[in-house]
Structure 1
Amino acid sequence: EYTDLIALIAELKAVLDSELLVTDIIRQELLELKEKYGDERRTEIAGAVKDFDIEDLIADEEMVVVVSHSGYIKRIPSDTYRQQHRGGKGVIGMGTKDDDYIEHIFVASAHQYILFFTDYGKCYWLKVFEIPEGGRTARGRAIVNLLRIEGDEQVTTFVPIREFDPEKFVFMATENGTVKKCSLEVFSRPYSAGIIAINLVGEDRLVGVQLMEKDYHIVLVTKKGMSIRFSEGDVRSVGRPAQGVRGIRLAENDKVVGMVTAAEENSTVLVVTENGYGKRTLLDAYRKQSRGGKGVITVKTSKRNGDVVSVKMVKDGDELVIISSSGMVTRMGVSALRKIGRNTQGVRIMSLNVDEVVVDVGQILAENEDE
């Protein structure tokens, strides 16, 4: 037994001292394994790692998107703003510098697309979750860092959408009263450098963009309180590079400040002026006209209430988010405003300080409405 043990030790030492022997032993053992287990696999390996998009990891919650005059943008969960009574002072909606203020606000879910339309008539494309989230007092991020905007071009209008439905239209309006309609589908593949939405003439600027379907009514509203209502059928659908046609004939020193669309007569037109006054009037109070006319009075503008700054199509149950030039924000229900006639000045909906004006109004749709 001792002799056998000494022989085994000598053999093992010889193996350890020889790389050739080690390799030969490994080869022999592998051949034995192949001989014993070399039949085909009896179980099947199936499946693979599934690809996923970052969007799958982000909750599709309602967001308030805020944009400042200097071009800063952020998104905030909509429940950050509590509802207040009419005439309230509001809460801070964005931290701004002395030469900046909040200029636009709108509500969209995190997974929605946003078409960004500029005053030069160009269009850019993002999803809401691609916009950095920030707190109420945060300034946000410069839009030029998210979109390839050049020169003094400014984003003026935002359209949140879920899909590029070919049965829907994009309806545009300019300061000089020109309107244009084209299929939403033509905006489905914008380039990173932007695409032309409408060709503008001279110093004209794009001020309003709305999504709509067939048989909708359009209402254009001007700075001096004039308005015109006509059918979308009065404007034929054209390609993106087209200039459009006349929507309203403007008086001297007047310009279009906004546009709304609706399919139902019981909708109400909300008009807000720079000095914090607002009013809503039934759509059927605006008689239908042919496009290109002078229109009718929608609100009496004066030194008391100031020029018109915003127009919305609203219903009971909707809520408003009103922004002032100092960055104050107030949220109120539409039902707090009773329906009144066109030829009136409206009631105070936001208390303002000296040299402070309303710059924009956002709208939160009632929960039972489709976005």
Structure 2
Amino acid sequence: MPPTSRPLRKLGFLTIGLFDEADPRRGHESTLSIIELGERLGFDSAWVRHRHLQYGISSPLVLLAAASQRTSRIQLGTAVIPLGWENPLRLAEDLATLDLLSGGRLNPGVSVGPPMHYARVREALYPGTADAEDFSYERVRRLMGFVRGEQATDFSGTEGFEAFSDRVQPHAAGLADRMWYGGASLRSARWAGEQGMNLLTSSVVKAEESEDFAEIQLSHIRAFREHHPDGERARVSHGLVVIPTDSATPGQRAKYEEYARTRMPRTASPQGPARMMFAPDLVGSSAEIAERLAAHVAFREVDEVAFALPFSFDHEDYVQILTDIATLLGPALGRPSAA
């Protein structure tokens, strides 16, 4: 296999954490078990998605707090928290608290924009203020300021028996350097770079200047680094759906191939008014997937990944996929196996 431009340095995975409405605890416990497995297999990071009013993780920080007490080394990330659902000051408190509980392992990823199906949820989420809410980058700036320890109020000192701070407490030193922005557009990539954040890029981009997925993603990565104070050293994490089949049973292979086949049509052209482009899911042996990634011009620009696990597979499937990624695909991409 031809080597990638940047040998893989950090290996991570992303899960949506689906559950059955009739037995939600089982699904959450499965996700925690998968994160524990990831640590045993030597993954550098585990990331969870954020789903409101769906059958997936709606409160990732609570789940990651539990994961932080069951693990000791693996980095814990969110990819991503949609800030349209959040109050930046309150979220900053939760992020700092979790970062301290985890021993400085939290990697919060965020994004902006109106909540999904906002017209249907606005009165439940922001009764009386729905039209006044600001879903722009300013919401991220506010969050970053609170995380960095900027002043939140003009009052501090003692009132009676209570002591008050003028900034968010607790303060987690170093957390601001581990804040990520999930961007799918050239504008977002540039903005994240200007803010000195890290960039999460995934299997979804906006078809703005091209309809070639990899070329679009490459332009985002380069624009981000051009505008980041750290330049070429600025951190980018890549997240495609990869499904290695090395140790899969025949039944699993058939399921994986069918899953990718049904999702393939959406990758042929831009989808919807926003012209979103989707990357194909990569199914095959670790050697085959490594070859395809080596030819991916955007992937060649990164040395960190958070490979996305498919949405609807069984726990045993995730165990097999993660094991193959850690022991076979990671080493094929330049990262030695830690398992």
Q: Structure 2 length normalisation: TM-score? A: 0.29
Which has more strand, going by share of residues? Answer: 1
Structure number with bigger Rg: 1
- Larger RCO (CA under 8 A, 6+ residues apart): 2
